[in-house]
Amino acid sequence: MQDWNRRVILTTLLATGLAGVGQATAQHTDILRESIGARAAELSEMELKPFDQTLWSSLSSWTNGSPLDAAATQGNVILIATWASWNPASTRAISTMQNLHKKYADDGLIVVGVHHTQGWDKATQAMDRRKADFLIALDAEGKFRNALKSDQDPDFYVIDRAGQLRFADIRTESVQAAVKLLLAEDAATAGSLVSRLEAEAARKEVEFRKPTQIQGRVDMQAMPEVAFLPPSEFEYAVANWPKIKTDDNNRGRRNESQGPRPFPVPGKGWINDVAPKTDGRVMVYYTWELNDPRSAEIARQMDTLQRQLGRDAVIVGVLTGVRSSDKNNRRGNDRIDPEMLLPRLESFRTVHGVQHTMMIDTDGSMFSGNNRSRGSDQDYSAVVVSSDNILRWEGAVADPAFRAALNRVVDADPGIHARRAAEAAYIRAKGG
């Protein structure tokens, strides 16, 4: 437990900045991790440790350059990005990788795209369409990704000039800041970072250990709902919410608001008529349809997201109908009786091991009027709703901005902060 405490303290100090450990370290407030909860703990344990250089040998079909090894990477900053030619989110990230490659290659940055086990035959085409020429390789057996605990594309990892994995699975909008930070260091500065941080970590460790021990004695999953004082409207008004995208095609439709707007918890449609506990939690609703091959993968990704967010969010899959085999009539079966869909929904959940909350909305009432988000021909839609039942983001499930916006809402939500504080008080009262 002591090693784990210290590891968390070190990464926390990196995230907040420290006086006395150099100007570069003080810039870490710009670098945000994508994961939270249990997965964040696993990835944190990997950071500030030497990267396993033997992993490069598990990659094959190197393109746009020679294979990497310990000698080729020595003294350089390495940006690793997982991607797949068939994944819209990761192919959009090619532009981010190419811009960094073009801008910083001469400064010692090596960008490598680690491709998924499937779809490699289309990888070169995806690169060519975006005029990208950074280094890519095939992870044919998935060993490289498994070692990095990559869970979805794109995931970004950054290795410093001393060969340490400094950042594991950071948000897309933080990648450039991480690269610039590590390029500003020399190998000696990077190599001595851990020892410089440990002095400060040792001072904070005793203080840190107490809440860690509390958490170790309390089963958070079994903890009851704890009453708390709801935040004021002012607290919600001044929170740092993500900006809702402007839809240029909607400017002429005055009845459809584009800013934050009410999105109350639905009163019907829940499986077994049981609505989830929502107090002090962010809500995520995403649309999907039966008979669509993509639905199972989307549901698995959302299950992973629910586990990562834990008690801070409720993920809800909204079944909007059955995908028609007639491409000209995609939603021809949308008005099917929900009672007839329920057995198929339950079967889907059982077959694919889906644990997060689901509901049925075949008549589209949930997303009618201002609450639009039924999805397009290409993408299903998602909305992120803060704990005061206000919509804070909307867009496609496949949009890379979805995860970033959700993380930002979770970080900013006053209701989550109030609930956590009440839970902490409950734990202390129980002798934690």
The DSSP bridge partners found for residue 322 are: 290
**Whether residue 183 is found in the same domain as residue 56:** yes
With 50 as the cut, is the pLDDT of residue 29 above it?
A: no
Angle at 71 between CA 69 and CA 72, to 5 degrees: 65
Among 204, 223, 249, which residue terminates a domain?
A: 204
Burial code (b: 16+ CB inside 10 Å, e: under 16) for 403-421 equals: bbbbbbbbebbbbbbbbee
Asked if residue 311 and residue 237 are part of one domain, the reply reads yes
Answer yes or no: is 174 within a domain.
Answer: yes
Closest among 40, 19, 16, 43 to 30, alpha carbons compared: 16
Judge whether residue 370 has pLDDT over 60.
no
Please tell me whether residues 238 and 196 are part of one structural domain. no
**What is residue 426's predicted lDDT score, i.e. its pLDDT?**
83
**Residue 6 pLDDT greater than 90, yes or no:** no
For 46-78, write each residue's pLDDT tens digit. Answer: 888 999 999 999 999 999 999 999 999 999 999
Backbone phi and psi for residue 294, each to the nearest 5 degrees, phi listed first:
-75, -20
Number of domain units in the chain: 2
Q: What is the structure's pLDDT at 86?
A: 93
On whether residue 215 sits in a domain, the answer given is no
Q: Are residues 259 and 399 in the same domain?
A: yes
The mean pLDDT of 356-367, rounded to a whole number, is 84
Q: Are 187 and 161 in contact (CB under 8 A)?
A: yes
Determine contact, residues 288/381, Cβ cutoff 8 Å: no
The residue-averaged pLDDT of 306-331 equals 79
Mean pLDDT on 396-407: 88
The crossing angle, in degrees rounded to 10, of helices 400-412 and 294-309 is 20
CATH number reported for the structural domain that contains residue 199 in this entry: 3.40.30.10
15 and 144 part of one domain: yes
Q: Which domain holds residue 123?
A: 2-204
What pLDDT, on the 0 to 100 scale, is given for residue 121?
A: 94
Element (H, E) at 420: helix 414-429
Do the domain assignments include residue 211?
A: no
Question: Do residues 243 and 332 share a domain?
Answer: yes
Of the three residues 204, 220, 250, the one that is the final residue of a domain is 204
Report which secondary-structure segment, H or E, holds 207: helix 193-217
In a domain, residue 254? The reply is: yes
Please answer whether residues 184 and 160 qualify as being in contact, where contact means their C-beta atoms are separated by less than 8 angstroms: no
Tell me the sheet residues that pair with 384. 284, 393
- 246 and 164 assigned to the same domain: no
Residue 300 tokens, joined: 């698995």
212 located within any domain: no
In terms of domains, do 52 and 200 share one? yes
The answer, as to whether pTM is greater than 0.85, is no
Tell me, yes or no, whether 167 and 287 share the same domain. no
User: Are both 272 and 191 inside the same structural domain?
Assistant: no
pLDDT of residue 157: 96
Q: Confirm whether 56 is domain-assigned.
A: yes
Residue 214 lies in a domain: no
- Looking at the predicted structure, is the pLDDT value of residue 226 above 60? yes
H/E element, 309? helix 294-309
Q: What percent of the chain has pLDDT over 90?
A: 43
Is residue 213 domain-resident? Answer: no
**Stretch among 73-82, 237-246, 287-296, 387-396 having the lowest mean pLDDT:** 237-246
Do 200 and 242 have their domain in common?
A: no
Residues 163 and 36 in one domain: yes
